[in-house]
Structure 1
Amino acid sequence: MTLLWVLLLGLLVGCDAGESATGCGKYNLNGLDRKIGLIPGSARPGEFPWIVAVLDRRDGLTRYIGGGSLIATNVVLTAVHILNGTVENDLLVRAGEWNVSTTEEFYRHVDLGVEKVISHGQFNSYTGEYDIALLILKARFPVQANIRTVCLPSERTSFVGRHCFFNGWGPMEALSGDYPSVLKKVDVKMIDKTLCQQQFQARVAPKSICAESLNRSASCKGDGGSPLVCPMPRDNTRFVQAGIVTFGIGCGSARTPGIYTDVSQMREWINYNLQRWNIQLGQ
Protein backbone atom coordinates (compact mmCIF):
# COMPACT_ATOMS: atom_id res chain seq x y z
CA MET A 1 0.00 0.00 0.00
CA THR A 2 2.88 2.37 0.78
CA LEU A 3 4.36 2.01 -2.72
CA LEU A 4 0.94 2.53 -4.32
CA TRP A 5 0.42 5.69 -2.27
CA VAL A 6 3.81 7.06 -3.32
CA LEU A 7 3.01 6.42 -6.99
CA LEU A 8 -0.40 8.10 -6.70
CA LEU A 9 1.13 11.09 -4.93
CA GLY A 10 3.67 11.44 -7.73
CA LEU A 11 0.88 11.52 -10.31
CA LEU A 12 -0.99 14.21 -8.39
CA VAL A 13 2.09 16.41 -8.10
CA GLY A 14 2.75 15.98 -11.82
CA CYS A 15 -0.78 17.14 -12.67
CA ASP A 16 -0.67 20.13 -10.30
CA ALA A 17 2.81 21.39 -11.10
CA GLY A 18 2.86 20.74 -14.80
CA GLU A 19 5.02 17.65 -15.05
CA SER A 20 7.59 16.62 -12.47
CA ALA A 21 9.41 13.82 -14.27
CA THR A 22 11.14 16.13 -16.76
CA GLY A 23 11.55 18.98 -14.29
CA CYS A 24 9.09 21.62 -15.46
CA GLY A 25 9.88 25.17 -14.42
CA LYS A 26 13.64 24.76 -14.08
CA TYR A 27 15.37 28.03 -14.90
CA ASN A 28 18.99 28.91 -15.58
CA LEU A 29 19.97 31.22 -12.72
CA ASN A 30 23.12 32.63 -14.33
CA GLY A 31 22.00 32.25 -17.92
CA LEU A 32 23.63 30.10 -20.57
CA ASP A 33 26.29 32.47 -21.87
CA ARG A 34 28.68 33.64 -19.16
CA LYS A 35 30.46 35.92 -21.67
CA ILE A 36 27.42 38.20 -21.71
CA GLY A 37 27.23 40.38 -18.62
CA LEU A 38 24.07 41.40 -16.81
CA ILE A 39 22.06 43.95 -18.79
CA PRO A 40 19.91 46.10 -16.45
CA GLY A 41 16.23 45.29 -16.84
CA SER A 42 16.93 42.24 -19.00
CA ALA A 43 16.91 38.50 -18.49
CA ARG A 44 20.11 36.54 -19.00
CA PRO A 45 20.37 34.34 -22.12
CA GLY A 46 18.25 31.23 -21.53
CA GLU A 47 17.35 32.24 -17.97
CA PHE A 48 13.63 31.59 -18.53
CA PRO A 49 13.62 28.76 -21.09
CA TRP A 50 9.84 28.37 -21.35
CA ILE A 51 9.09 31.77 -22.88
CA VAL A 52 8.31 31.86 -26.59
CA ALA A 53 7.78 34.58 -29.16
CA VAL A 54 4.54 34.42 -31.15
CA LEU A 55 5.07 35.66 -34.71
CA ASP A 56 2.65 36.72 -37.45
CA ARG A 57 3.93 35.83 -40.91
CA ARG A 58 1.14 37.25 -43.05
CA ASP A 59 2.03 39.22 -46.18
CA GLY A 60 5.39 37.48 -46.42
CA LEU A 61 6.68 39.28 -43.33
CA THR A 62 7.50 37.93 -39.87
CA ARG A 63 6.30 40.25 -37.11
CA TYR A 64 6.46 39.79 -33.36
CA ILE A 65 2.94 40.06 -31.89
CA GLY A 66 3.35 38.79 -28.33
CA GLY A 67 4.70 36.21 -25.97
CA GLY A 68 3.65 32.84 -24.64
CA SER A 69 4.89 29.94 -22.56
CA LEU A 70 5.57 26.29 -23.24
CA ILE A 71 3.34 24.16 -21.01
CA ALA A 72 4.05 21.05 -23.09
CA THR A 73 6.64 20.62 -25.81
CA ASN A 74 3.89 21.07 -28.40
CA VAL A 75 1.56 23.49 -26.58
CA VAL A 76 1.86 27.23 -25.98
CA LEU A 77 -0.19 29.14 -23.40
CA THR A 78 -0.84 32.74 -24.47
CA ALA A 79 -3.47 35.50 -24.60
CA VAL A 80 -6.35 35.73 -27.05
CA HIS A 81 -5.95 39.46 -27.64
CA ILE A 82 -2.53 39.18 -29.32
CA LEU A 83 -3.87 36.87 -32.05
CA ASN A 84 -6.01 39.66 -33.52
CA GLY A 85 -7.71 37.75 -36.32
CA THR A 86 -4.82 35.50 -37.25
CA VAL A 87 -5.42 31.87 -38.18
CA GLU A 88 -3.19 28.85 -37.78
CA ASN A 89 -1.21 29.27 -41.02
CA ASP A 90 -0.45 32.90 -40.15
CA LEU A 91 1.37 31.98 -36.94
CA LEU A 92 4.88 30.86 -36.07
CA VAL A 93 6.16 30.09 -32.57
CA ARG A 94 9.81 30.69 -31.71
CA ALA A 95 11.33 28.99 -28.65
CA GLY A 96 14.81 29.44 -27.20
CA GLU A 97 14.94 33.11 -28.21
CA TRP A 98 16.74 35.85 -26.27
CA ASN A 99 18.16 38.45 -28.65
CA VAL A 100 15.76 39.00 -31.53
CA SER A 101 18.28 41.07 -33.48
CA THR A 102 20.72 38.24 -34.15
CA THR A 103 20.79 34.59 -35.20
CA GLU A 104 24.32 34.09 -33.87
CA GLU A 105 23.49 33.17 -30.30
CA PHE A 106 25.33 30.13 -28.95
CA TYR A 107 22.00 28.41 -28.23
CA ARG A 108 19.91 28.81 -31.38
CA HIS A 109 16.17 29.34 -31.38
CA VAL A 110 13.74 26.86 -32.96
CA ASP A 111 10.62 27.74 -34.99
CA LEU A 112 7.43 25.67 -35.30
CA GLY A 113 4.11 26.18 -37.04
CA VAL A 114 0.68 26.06 -35.39
CA GLU A 115 -1.74 23.18 -35.96
CA LYS A 116 -4.68 24.54 -33.95
CA VAL A 117 -5.63 27.76 -32.15
CA ILE A 118 -7.96 27.27 -29.16
CA SER A 119 -9.29 30.59 -27.85
CA HIS A 120 -11.53 30.91 -24.81
CA GLY A 121 -15.09 31.44 -25.99
CA GLN A 122 -15.91 33.90 -23.19
CA PHE A 123 -13.05 36.31 -23.86
CA ASN A 124 -14.12 39.89 -23.14
CA SER A 125 -11.96 42.44 -24.94
CA TYR A 126 -13.27 45.26 -22.74
CA THR A 127 -12.54 43.76 -19.30
CA GLY A 128 -9.75 41.42 -20.40
CA GLU A 129 -11.47 38.49 -18.69
CA TYR A 130 -10.80 35.01 -20.09
CA ASP A 131 -7.87 36.37 -22.11
CA ILE A 132 -6.37 32.95 -22.66
CA ALA A 133 -5.58 30.75 -25.65
CA LEU A 134 -3.72 27.54 -26.44
CA LEU A 135 -1.62 27.03 -29.55
CA ILE A 136 -1.29 23.36 -30.47
CA LEU A 137 1.89 23.04 -32.52
CA LYS A 138 2.58 20.95 -35.61
CA ALA A 139 5.54 19.25 -33.92
CA ARG A 140 7.34 19.13 -30.58
CA PHE A 141 10.13 21.44 -29.53
CA PRO A 142 13.30 19.64 -28.47
CA VAL A 143 13.93 19.80 -24.72
CA GLN A 144 17.34 21.44 -24.30
CA ALA A 145 19.08 23.99 -22.10
CA ASN A 146 17.27 26.97 -23.61
CA ILE A 147 13.92 25.26 -24.28
CA ARG A 148 11.88 23.77 -21.42
CA THR A 149 8.33 23.74 -20.11
CA VAL A 150 6.98 25.80 -17.21
CA CYS A 151 4.93 24.36 -14.35
CA LEU A 152 1.27 25.28 -13.82
CA PRO A 153 -0.37 25.90 -10.44
CA SER A 154 -3.11 23.89 -8.81
CA GLU A 155 -6.63 25.29 -9.13
CA ARG A 156 -7.30 28.46 -7.12
CA THR A 157 -3.74 28.89 -5.87
CA SER A 158 -3.15 32.31 -4.27
CA PHE A 159 0.06 34.19 -5.03
CA VAL A 160 -0.75 37.38 -3.08
CA GLY A 161 2.36 38.81 -1.44
CA ARG A 162 4.75 36.75 -3.56
CA HIS A 163 7.67 38.23 -5.50
CA CYS A 164 7.49 37.11 -9.12
CA PHE A 165 8.70 38.00 -12.62
CA PHE A 166 7.37 38.49 -16.09
CA ASN A 167 9.28 38.63 -19.36
CA GLY A 168 8.59 40.00 -22.79
CA TRP A 169 9.94 41.94 -25.73
CA GLY A 170 7.58 44.90 -25.27
CA PRO A 171 8.86 48.50 -24.87
CA MET A 172 10.38 49.52 -21.55
CA GLU A 173 8.66 52.92 -21.47
CA ALA A 174 5.24 54.35 -22.28
CA LEU A 175 4.79 56.02 -25.66
CA SER A 176 8.00 54.40 -26.85
CA GLY A 177 8.01 52.65 -30.18
CA ASP A 178 11.38 51.12 -29.39
CA TYR A 179 11.21 47.40 -28.75
CA PRO A 180 14.19 45.88 -26.89
CA SER A 181 16.41 43.44 -28.74
CA VAL A 182 16.86 41.20 -25.71
CA LEU A 183 14.25 39.66 -23.43
CA LYS A 184 13.38 41.93 -20.53
CA LYS A 185 12.86 40.82 -16.94
CA VAL A 186 10.49 42.72 -14.67
CA ASP A 187 10.28 42.11 -10.91
CA VAL A 188 6.75 42.35 -9.53
CA LYS A 189 4.89 41.79 -6.27
CA MET A 190 1.47 40.14 -6.33
CA ILE A 191 -1.21 42.28 -4.67
CA ASP A 192 -4.80 41.59 -3.61
CA LYS A 193 -7.73 42.74 -5.72
CA THR A 194 -8.98 45.38 -3.28
CA LEU A 195 -5.69 47.27 -3.42
CA CYS A 196 -5.43 46.60 -7.14
CA GLN A 197 -8.84 48.11 -7.89
CA GLN A 198 -8.00 51.17 -5.80
CA GLN A 199 -4.77 51.75 -7.72
CA PHE A 200 -6.18 50.73 -11.09
CA GLN A 201 -9.32 52.82 -10.50
CA ALA A 202 -11.46 50.26 -12.26
CA ARG A 203 -13.08 46.90 -11.63
CA VAL A 204 -10.75 43.93 -11.97
CA ALA A 205 -12.35 40.87 -13.55
CA PRO A 206 -12.84 37.84 -11.25
CA LYS A 207 -10.58 35.63 -13.38
CA SER A 208 -7.73 38.13 -13.23
CA ILE A 209 -4.89 38.81 -10.79
CA CYS A 210 -2.73 41.88 -10.19
CA ALA A 211 0.93 42.68 -9.67
CA GLU A 212 2.82 45.92 -9.11
CA SER A 213 6.30 46.50 -10.48
CA LEU A 214 9.31 46.59 -8.15
CA ASN A 215 11.80 48.04 -10.63
CA ARG A 216 10.07 51.00 -12.29
CA SER A 217 8.89 49.04 -15.27
CA ALA A 218 5.59 47.46 -16.20
CA SER A 219 3.88 45.44 -18.88
CA CYS A 220 3.56 47.24 -22.21
CA LYS A 221 2.09 46.65 -25.63
CA GLY A 222 4.12 43.76 -26.99
CA ASP A 223 4.25 41.91 -23.67
CA GLY A 224 0.74 40.47 -24.11
CA GLY A 225 0.55 36.70 -23.75
CA SER A 226 3.86 36.51 -21.88
CA PRO A 227 4.06 34.48 -18.67
CA LEU A 228 4.08 35.84 -15.13
CA VAL A 229 6.02 33.29 -13.09
CA CYS A 230 6.73 32.81 -9.38
CA PRO A 231 9.35 30.67 -7.61
CA MET A 232 7.98 27.55 -5.98
CA PRO A 233 7.75 28.00 -2.18
CA ARG A 234 9.94 24.99 -1.38
CA ASP A 235 12.24 25.14 -4.41
CA ASN A 236 13.23 28.56 -5.71
CA THR A 237 15.11 27.00 -8.62
CA ARG A 238 11.77 26.09 -10.21
CA PHE A 239 8.97 28.36 -11.34
CA VAL A 240 5.21 28.07 -11.69
CA GLN A 241 3.16 30.27 -14.01
CA ALA A 242 0.74 32.43 -12.04
CA GLY A 243 -0.55 34.64 -14.84
CA ILE A 244 -0.65 35.69 -18.48
CA VAL A 245 0.03 39.33 -19.37
CA THR A 246 -3.29 40.91 -20.33
CA PHE A 247 -2.96 44.67 -20.08
CA GLY A 248 -1.76 47.57 -17.98
CA ILE A 249 -2.19 51.32 -17.76
CA GLY A 250 0.88 53.52 -17.43
CA CYS A 251 3.28 51.27 -19.30
CA GLY A 252 6.75 51.60 -17.81
CA SER A 253 5.34 52.94 -14.52
CA ALA A 254 5.50 51.29 -11.12
CA ARG A 255 2.51 53.29 -9.87
CA THR A 256 -0.18 51.34 -11.71
CA PRO A 257 -0.54 47.55 -11.38
CA GLY A 258 -0.55 45.20 -14.31
CA ILE A 259 -3.49 42.87 -14.91
CA TYR A 260 -2.94 39.19 -15.65
CA THR A 261 -5.19 36.25 -16.46
CA ASP A 262 -5.24 33.98 -13.40
CA VAL A 263 -3.83 30.67 -14.64
CA SER A 264 -4.93 28.77 -11.52
CA GLN A 265 -8.57 29.66 -12.25
CA MET A 266 -8.12 28.54 -15.85
CA ARG A 267 -6.77 25.07 -15.02
CA GLU A 268 -10.08 23.33 -15.66
CA TRP A 269 -10.31 24.91 -19.13
CA ILE A 270 -6.67 24.09 -19.89
CA ASN A 271 -7.01 20.49 -18.71
CA TYR A 272 -10.21 19.96 -20.70
CA ASN A 273 -8.66 21.12 -23.97
CA LEU A 274 -5.42 19.21 -23.48
CA GLN A 275 -7.39 16.04 -22.79
CA ARG A 276 -9.29 16.53 -26.05
CA TRP A 277 -5.93 16.50 -27.83
CA ASN A 278 -4.55 13.69 -25.66
CA ILE A 279 -1.71 15.91 -24.45
CA GLN A 280 -0.12 15.77 -21.00
CA LEU A 281 1.39 18.82 -19.35
CA GLY A 282 5.13 19.10 -19.76
CA GLN A 283 5.40 16.33 -22.34
Structure 2
Amino acid sequence: MMVALISQAHAQGKVVGIISVDWEGRVLDEKNLAAMKSFREDYPHIGLLHFLNAAYYTKPNADSFEVSQKIKQVLRNNDEHGLHVHAWRSLVEYANVTFRRSPNWSYPGPISLNSCHTTGDCGANVPISAYTTEELKDIISVSKQILINNGFNQPVSFRAGGWMAEPNVIAALSAEGFLFDSSATAPELLKGRRWSDRLYNWLNGLWTTITPVSQPYLIGPMSSPLWEIPDNGILADYITGPEMLAVLKQNIEKWRQDPQQTIYVSIGFHQETAAKYLHRIRDAVDLFEAYAEEQQVPFEWVQLPLSSSIF
Protein backbone atom coordinates (compact mmCIF):
# COMPACT_ATOMS: atom_id res chain seq x y z
CA MET A 1 0.00 0.00 0.00
CA MET A 2 2.82 2.40 0.90
CA VAL A 3 4.59 1.80 -2.42
CA ALA A 4 1.34 2.34 -4.28
CA LEU A 5 0.87 5.71 -2.59
CA ILE A 6 4.40 6.72 -3.48
CA SER A 7 3.84 5.83 -7.13
CA GLN A 8 0.55 7.70 -7.21
CA ALA A 9 2.13 10.83 -5.73
CA HIS A 10 5.09 10.71 -8.09
CA ALA A 11 2.70 10.62 -11.04
CA GLN A 12 1.60 14.12 -10.05
CA GLY A 13 5.10 15.58 -10.08
CA LYS A 14 5.89 18.64 -7.95
CA VAL A 15 8.36 20.30 -5.60
CA VAL A 16 7.37 20.28 -1.94
CA GLY A 17 8.67 22.53 0.83
CA ILE A 18 8.71 21.61 4.52
CA ILE A 19 9.42 24.15 7.28
CA SER A 20 10.36 22.57 10.59
CA VAL A 21 10.83 24.02 14.06
CA ASP A 22 13.29 22.50 16.51
CA TRP A 23 12.09 23.08 20.08
CA GLU A 24 15.34 22.55 21.98
CA GLY A 25 13.85 22.11 25.44
CA ARG A 26 15.99 24.94 26.82
CA VAL A 27 13.80 28.02 27.39
CA LEU A 28 10.53 29.57 26.22
CA ASP A 29 11.39 33.27 25.97
CA GLU A 30 8.66 35.69 24.95
CA LYS A 31 10.80 37.41 22.29
CA ASN A 32 11.13 34.15 20.35
CA LEU A 33 7.49 33.20 20.75
CA ALA A 34 6.50 36.70 19.61
CA ALA A 35 8.63 36.32 16.47
CA MET A 36 6.88 33.02 15.76
CA LYS A 37 3.40 34.49 16.32
CA SER A 38 4.19 37.27 13.88
CA PHE A 39 5.37 34.76 11.30
CA ARG A 40 2.18 32.71 11.70
CA GLU A 41 0.07 35.81 11.17
CA ASP A 42 1.96 36.81 8.04
CA TYR A 43 2.07 33.31 6.50
CA PRO A 44 -1.19 31.59 7.57
CA HIS A 45 -1.09 29.27 4.54
CA ILE A 46 2.04 27.52 5.78
CA GLY A 47 1.74 24.69 8.28
CA LEU A 48 4.82 23.90 10.32
CA LEU A 49 6.40 20.64 11.38
CA HIS A 50 7.09 21.15 15.08
CA PHE A 51 9.68 18.89 16.66
CA LEU A 52 8.50 19.37 20.24
CA ASN A 53 10.69 18.68 23.25
CA ALA A 54 9.36 17.20 26.49
CA ALA A 55 12.28 18.60 28.51
CA TYR A 56 10.42 21.87 29.07
CA TYR A 57 8.17 19.85 31.37
CA THR A 58 10.90 17.98 33.27
CA LYS A 59 13.02 20.93 34.31
CA PRO A 60 13.13 21.76 38.03
CA ASN A 61 10.04 23.71 39.12
CA ALA A 62 8.48 23.55 35.63
CA ASP A 63 4.82 24.62 35.55
CA SER A 64 3.15 22.27 33.05
CA PHE A 65 0.17 24.56 32.48
CA GLU A 66 2.40 27.56 31.77
CA VAL A 67 4.70 25.53 29.50
CA SER A 68 1.72 24.27 27.47
CA GLN A 69 0.23 27.74 27.17
CA LYS A 70 3.46 29.18 25.84
CA ILE A 71 3.95 26.46 23.25
CA LYS A 72 0.36 26.28 22.07
CA GLN A 73 0.06 30.01 21.44
CA VAL A 74 2.17 29.59 18.28
CA LEU A 75 0.64 26.33 17.05
CA ARG A 76 -2.05 26.23 14.37
CA ASN A 77 -4.52 23.60 13.16
CA ASN A 78 -2.47 22.98 10.02
CA ASP A 79 0.66 22.02 11.99
CA GLU A 80 2.23 18.63 12.65
CA HIS A 81 3.38 17.65 16.15
CA GLY A 82 6.65 15.72 16.01
CA LEU A 83 9.21 14.88 18.69
CA HIS A 84 12.65 16.36 19.30
CA VAL A 85 14.99 14.88 21.89
CA HIS A 86 18.13 16.37 23.36
CA ALA A 87 19.76 14.46 26.22
CA TRP A 88 18.80 16.91 28.96
CA ARG A 89 19.64 15.50 32.38
CA SER A 90 16.17 16.24 33.74
CA LEU A 91 14.51 14.32 30.89
CA VAL A 92 16.94 11.40 30.97
CA GLU A 93 16.55 10.93 34.71
CA TYR A 94 12.77 11.36 34.48
CA ALA A 95 12.88 8.29 32.23
CA ASN A 96 14.87 6.46 34.94
CA VAL A 97 17.97 6.33 32.74
CA THR A 98 21.46 7.07 34.06
CA PHE A 99 22.64 10.45 32.75
CA ARG A 100 25.80 10.50 30.61
CA ARG A 101 28.13 13.50 30.71
CA SER A 102 30.03 12.68 27.52
CA PRO A 103 30.73 12.82 24.69
CA ASN A 104 29.44 16.26 23.75
CA TRP A 105 29.69 18.24 20.55
CA SER A 106 30.69 21.55 22.11
CA TYR A 107 33.74 20.56 24.15
CA PRO A 108 36.09 17.57 24.13
CA GLY A 109 35.69 16.79 27.85
CA PRO A 110 32.70 15.58 29.89
CA ILE A 111 30.05 18.01 31.09
CA SER A 112 30.62 19.41 34.56
CA LEU A 113 27.77 18.56 36.87
CA ASN A 114 28.21 22.02 38.37
CA SER A 115 26.74 23.42 35.16
CA CYS A 116 23.57 21.43 35.81
CA HIS A 117 23.10 23.17 39.14
CA THR A 118 24.07 26.59 37.77
CA THR A 119 21.75 26.52 34.75
CA GLY A 120 19.03 24.29 36.16
CA ASP A 121 19.65 21.58 33.57
CA CYS A 122 22.39 20.30 31.26
CA GLY A 123 23.22 17.64 28.68
CA ALA A 124 21.75 19.17 25.53
CA ASN A 125 25.05 18.79 23.70
CA VAL A 126 25.43 15.10 24.51
CA PRO A 127 24.27 13.13 21.45
CA ILE A 128 21.33 10.89 22.28
CA SER A 129 23.16 8.13 20.41
CA ALA A 130 25.41 7.92 23.50
CA TYR A 131 22.57 5.94 25.08
CA THR A 132 21.68 2.33 24.34
CA THR A 133 18.69 1.37 22.22
CA GLU A 134 16.81 0.22 25.32
CA GLU A 135 17.60 3.45 27.16
CA LEU A 136 16.51 5.46 24.14
CA LYS A 137 13.23 3.57 23.96
CA ASP A 138 12.55 4.61 27.55
CA ILE A 139 13.50 8.26 26.91
CA ILE A 140 11.45 8.43 23.71
CA SER A 141 8.45 6.66 25.24
CA VAL A 142 8.43 9.00 28.24
CA SER A 143 8.80 12.04 25.97
CA LYS A 144 5.85 10.97 23.84
CA GLN A 145 3.68 10.39 26.89
CA ILE A 146 4.54 13.76 28.42
CA LEU A 147 3.50 15.54 25.23
CA ILE A 148 0.30 13.52 24.86
CA ASN A 149 -0.61 14.08 28.52
CA ASN A 150 -0.28 17.83 27.94
CA GLY A 151 -2.62 17.93 24.97
CA PHE A 152 -0.34 17.45 21.97
CA ASN A 153 -0.92 14.93 19.19
CA GLN A 154 0.92 11.63 19.28
CA PRO A 155 4.13 12.22 17.32
CA VAL A 156 4.98 10.04 14.32
CA SER A 157 7.94 12.17 13.18
CA PHE A 158 11.26 12.70 14.93
CA ARG A 159 14.50 14.68 14.84
CA ALA A 160 17.49 13.93 17.02
CA GLY A 161 19.25 16.77 18.78
CA GLY A 162 22.22 17.84 16.69
CA TRP A 163 20.91 15.54 13.89
CA MET A 164 22.83 12.76 15.70
CA ALA A 165 20.70 9.71 14.87
CA GLU A 166 23.08 6.77 14.89
CA PRO A 167 21.68 3.27 14.10
CA ASN A 168 20.70 2.71 17.75
CA VAL A 169 18.48 5.82 17.57
CA ILE A 170 16.84 4.55 14.38
CA ALA A 171 16.25 1.16 16.02
CA ALA A 172 14.59 2.81 19.02
CA LEU A 173 12.37 4.94 16.78
CA SER A 174 11.25 1.90 14.80
CA ALA A 175 10.47 0.05 18.02
CA GLU A 176 8.42 3.02 19.25
CA GLY A 177 6.32 3.11 16.08
CA PHE A 178 7.61 6.27 14.43
CA LEU A 179 6.99 6.68 10.70
CA PHE A 180 9.42 9.48 9.84
CA ASP A 181 12.84 10.64 10.94
CA SER A 182 14.33 13.94 9.80
CA SER A 183 17.79 13.76 11.37
CA ALA A 184 19.76 13.23 8.18
CA THR A 185 21.29 16.50 7.04
CA ALA A 186 23.75 17.75 4.45
CA PRO A 187 26.99 18.26 6.42
CA GLU A 188 28.44 20.52 3.73
CA LEU A 189 25.90 23.20 4.70
CA LEU A 190 27.15 23.22 8.28
CA LYS A 191 30.89 23.32 7.63
CA GLY A 192 32.45 26.45 9.10
CA ARG A 193 29.06 27.75 10.29
CA ARG A 194 29.60 27.01 13.99
CA TRP A 195 32.30 28.22 16.37
CA SER A 196 33.63 24.66 16.40
CA ASP A 197 33.65 22.05 13.63
CA ARG A 198 33.28 19.24 16.17
CA LEU A 199 29.61 18.61 15.35
CA TYR A 200 30.26 18.99 11.62
CA ASN A 201 32.97 16.34 11.79
CA TRP A 202 30.62 13.92 13.54
CA LEU A 203 27.83 14.57 11.05
CA ASN A 204 30.18 14.24 8.11
CA GLY A 205 30.94 10.72 9.28
CA LEU A 206 27.32 9.85 10.07
CA TRP A 207 25.53 11.32 7.03
CA THR A 208 28.31 10.87 4.47
CA THR A 209 25.99 10.44 1.48
CA ILE A 210 23.47 13.19 2.33
CA THR A 211 23.58 16.28 0.08
CA PRO A 212 21.29 19.29 -0.47
CA VAL A 213 19.39 17.25 -3.09
CA SER A 214 18.97 14.04 -1.05
CA GLN A 215 15.41 12.73 -1.02
CA PRO A 216 13.31 10.51 1.28
CA TYR A 217 14.42 6.91 1.65
CA LEU A 218 13.53 3.92 3.77
CA ILE A 219 15.90 3.74 6.75
CA GLY A 220 14.08 1.50 9.22
CA PRO A 221 13.32 -2.24 8.98
CA MET A 222 10.59 -3.41 6.62
CA SER A 223 8.83 -4.96 9.61
CA SER A 224 8.28 -1.42 10.95
CA PRO A 225 8.92 0.99 8.04
CA LEU A 226 10.66 4.22 9.01
CA TRP A 227 11.31 6.81 6.35
CA GLU A 228 14.18 9.27 6.46
CA ILE A 229 13.17 12.76 5.29
CA PRO A 230 16.53 14.56 4.92
CA ASP A 231 16.83 18.04 6.37
CA ASN A 232 18.51 18.96 3.10
CA GLY A 233 18.13 22.71 3.51
CA ILE A 234 19.34 22.67 7.14
CA LEU A 235 18.27 25.39 9.65
CA ALA A 236 18.21 29.17 9.59
CA ASP A 237 20.87 29.51 12.27
CA TYR A 238 23.40 28.39 9.69
CA ILE A 239 22.30 29.57 6.23
CA THR A 240 20.47 32.61 4.88
CA GLY A 241 17.32 32.93 2.81
CA PRO A 242 19.24 33.34 -0.48
CA GLU A 243 21.36 30.31 0.42
CA MET A 244 18.18 28.30 1.03
CA LEU A 245 16.97 29.46 -2.39
CA ALA A 246 20.16 28.02 -3.87
CA VAL A 247 19.21 24.68 -2.33
CA LEU A 248 15.72 24.97 -3.82
CA LYS A 249 17.20 25.68 -7.25
CA GLN A 250 19.35 22.56 -7.06
CA ASN A 251 16.28 20.51 -6.20
CA ILE A 252 14.24 22.06 -8.99
CA GLU A 253 16.97 21.02 -11.41
CA LYS A 254 16.68 17.49 -10.02
CA TRP A 255 12.91 17.65 -10.50
CA ARG A 256 13.30 18.83 -14.10
CA GLN A 257 15.20 15.64 -14.90
CA ASP A 258 11.95 13.78 -14.24
CA PRO A 259 8.91 16.05 -13.78
CA GLN A 260 6.81 13.05 -12.73
CA GLN A 261 8.68 12.79 -9.42
CA THR A 262 7.99 14.62 -6.19
CA ILE A 263 11.02 16.43 -4.75
CA TYR A 264 11.33 17.59 -1.15
CA VAL A 265 13.15 20.61 0.23
CA SER A 266 13.34 20.91 4.01
CA ILE A 267 14.27 24.13 5.79
CA GLY A 268 13.66 25.25 9.35
CA PHE A 269 14.62 27.16 12.49
CA HIS A 270 15.00 26.80 16.26
CA GLN A 271 12.33 28.15 18.60
CA GLU A 272 15.07 29.30 20.97
CA THR A 273 16.65 31.59 18.34
CA ALA A 274 13.53 32.61 16.40
CA ALA A 275 13.91 36.30 17.27
CA LYS A 276 17.38 36.28 15.74
CA TYR A 277 16.99 34.01 12.71
CA LEU A 278 13.32 33.60 11.74
CA HIS A 279 13.66 36.52 9.33
CA ARG A 280 15.78 34.20 7.18
CA ILE A 281 12.82 31.83 6.84
CA ARG A 282 10.65 34.78 5.88
CA ASP A 283 13.17 35.62 3.17
CA ALA A 284 13.26 32.00 2.02
CA VAL A 285 9.46 31.71 1.82
CA ASP A 286 9.18 34.82 -0.31
CA LEU A 287 12.07 33.74 -2.53
CA PHE A 288 10.79 30.17 -2.91
CA GLU A 289 7.28 31.21 -3.87
CA ALA A 290 8.42 33.92 -6.28
CA TYR A 291 10.99 31.67 -7.97
CA ALA A 292 8.57 28.75 -8.33
CA GLU A 293 5.99 31.05 -9.91
CA GLU A 294 8.55 32.62 -12.21
CA GLN A 295 9.83 29.21 -13.32
CA GLN A 296 6.30 27.74 -13.51
CA VAL A 297 7.25 24.93 -11.15
CA PRO A 298 4.42 23.18 -9.26
CA PHE A 299 5.25 23.96 -5.65
CA GLU A 300 3.47 23.58 -2.31
CA TRP A 301 4.18 23.68 1.42
CA VAL A 302 3.36 20.62 3.52
CA GLN A 303 4.06 19.56 7.10
CA LEU A 304 4.98 15.93 6.36
CA PRO A 305 4.92 13.68 3.32
CA LEU A 306 1.97 12.05 5.07
CA SER A 307 0.08 15.35 4.77
CA SER A 308 0.14 15.17 0.98
CA SER A 309 -0.49 11.40 0.79
CA ILE A 310 3.04 10.70 -0.38
CA PHE A 311 3.56 7.76 1.96
Alignment TM-score, normalising by the size of structure 1: 0.30
Asked which structure has the greater RCO (Cα within 8 Å, sep 6+), the reply is: 2
Normalized per residue, the structure richer in helix is: 2
Structure with a larger share of its residues in strand = 1
Larger Rg: 2
* TM-score, structure 2 as length reference: 0.28
